[in-house]
Amino acid sequence: MIKLIVTDLDGTLLNDEKQVPAGFRELEKKFRKEGITWVLASGRQYYTIAEQFSDLLEDVYIIAENGAIALKGSQVIHLNPLAEDLTLELIDRGRNIKNAWPILCGRKSAWVENNYQPLLDEAQKYYKELQVVEDLTLVDDVALKFTMCDFTGSEVNSFPYFENMQKRCRVAVAGQIWLDMTSLTATKGTALLEIMKHCNASADEVMAFGDYMNDKEMLEVAGISYALKNSHPDLFKSARFITKHDNNNNGVIREIKEYFKLA
């Protein structure tokens, strides 16, 4: 029996317009009555997820900042921040990358050093709480994640600057223009394991969906795992199945309905 349905948001559950698919809330309510809980797992900030799913905060688990924090309602289930000295080094490296901007993702807010409008426009899609400061190294907040917003392309432009730090922190290409750094042990997968302990669920009672490389560990933890049809090609290796439809064609909901034999 499935106890948890875990889904990434952008590029997975949501379409490219960031819209929740038709049928999601009806299905969540039905499954909740049957003892099946949804886990919304994202690289996004908690506050942004909470705003879009404000009606469900007491009923679902939320994994935010690529697994650096997980909550059920107001209860923190898992917290795994970046070390302060490592955060300072990441900021220093990030400042030197052309056409890319560092974002410090804390518990209180996300923080940027530049008011470049294309950066703010893009960041505000994922960070409801966002503040511009003169110096990221002086921010008084718990660092959950460090991110590069890279308009040249995160995999080709920013990643090489951080590649040799992979023994000290988790470096994940999280989207075409996003590169995320978290604590070495902070992934959606480790956060999911803590949630599984919290609700006494085994791997074969977990179904998970993702589309990018920051979903890799999460899919490997789940007993039943799907990479979306539109996924990064390397993610297919970590999933047991591939959805028949992409995120713009309700791939997650249609696959769930087929699995549970729902009309």
In angstroms, how far is CA 10 from the centroid of its own chain? Answer: 8
Q: Where are the alpha helices (DSSP H) in 64-180?
A: 84-94, 117-123, 159-162
Q: Do residues 124 and 130 make contact, with C-beta atoms less than 8 angstroms apart?
A: yes
The model's pTM is 0.89
Q: Based on the fold, state whether residues 111 and 158 are members of the same structural domain.
A: yes
> Three-state DSSP class for 123?
helix
- Final residue belonging to a domain, choices 121, 156, 183: 183
Among 129, 158, 183, the domain-final residue is: 183
Dump pLDDT digits (tens) for 137-179. 999 999 999 999 999 999 999 999 999 999 999 999 988 999 9
Question: What domain range includes position 130?
Answer: 84-183
Q: Is the pLDDT of residue 263 over 90?
A: no
Q: Which of 127, 148, 183 is the last residue of a domain?
A: 183
Residues 144 and 28 in one domain: no
Residue 190 belongs to domain with CATH number:
3.40.50.1000
Reported in sequence order, the residue ranges of 139-245 that DSSP labels E, i.e. its strands, are: 143-150, 169-175, 178-183, 206-210, 224-227, 241-242
> How many domains does the chain fold into?
2
Residues 110 and 196 in one domain: no
Q: What is the CATH number of the domain that holds 164?
A: 3.30.1240.10
Both 8 and 67 in one domain: the answer is yes
pLDDT given for residue 50 in this prediction: 96
Specify whether 125 is located in the same domain as 252: no
